[in-house]
Amino acid sequence: MDINAYNPSLPLVEIYPNPTGDYLYISVQRPIQTLDMIAVNGEKVTGTIEIKALDSSDLRLNLSSLSSGTYFLILQIDNKTHTKQIVKNEK
């Protein structure tokens, strides 16, 4: 058995810290097909954040351009949608 094979019992995504300040980290086991950040009012804010790949499975999102509040992070992985509520606090 290949220990690197996909295991559905393991979490696909880790998102931390939450609540967060300026930086949000995402660790994934499978490639992200799409990533969107939506404000609670429905406004898509993905274009206002910097997304940096730290390595093949980790991303860092710079949320410093966003106001404090609630956002929804929507990830498409393996043709499945994963939505996580994110709380952004002031620094």
Q: For the CA atoms of 49, 50, 53, 59, what is the dihedral angle to 10 degrees?
A: -30
> pLDDT, tens digit, for every residue of 42-53?
999 999 999 999
In the prediction, which pLDDT does 8 show? 56
Percentage of residues in the chain having pLDDT higher than 90? 68
Which tokens hold the place of 37? 């950040």
Is pLDDT at 2 greater than 50 in this prediction?
Answer: no
- SS percent in the chain: helix, strand, coil, step 5: 5, 50, 45
Q: Rg of the chain over CA atoms, in angstroms?
A: 14
DSSP, res 10: S
Look at residue 15 and tell me whether its pLDDT is greater than 90: yes
Is the preceding omega at residue 17 within 30 degrees of 0, hence cis? yes
